[in-house]
Structure 1
Amino acid sequence: MTPDESRNILLIIIQAYPQFAKQASKELYALWADKLKKGDFKRTKHLLDKHIEASSYPPAIADILVIADDRFEKTRQMISSWNISVESTRKPSLDELPWSDEMKAAFKQRQQQKTYHVPNNEEFKKKAF
Structure 2
Amino acid sequence: MAVLYAALASLGFGVFFNLRGAKLWAAAIGGGVGWLFYMLFALQGALVQNFAASLAITVYAEIMARVQRAPVLTYLTPALIPLVPGGPIYQAMLHALNGETELFLSTGLLAMTVTGAIALGVVAASAVMR
Where on the TM-score scale, by shorter chain, does this alignment land: which range?
under 0.3
Rg: which structure is higher?
1
- Give the structure with the higher percent helix: 2
TM-score w.r.t. the length of structure 1 is: 0.28
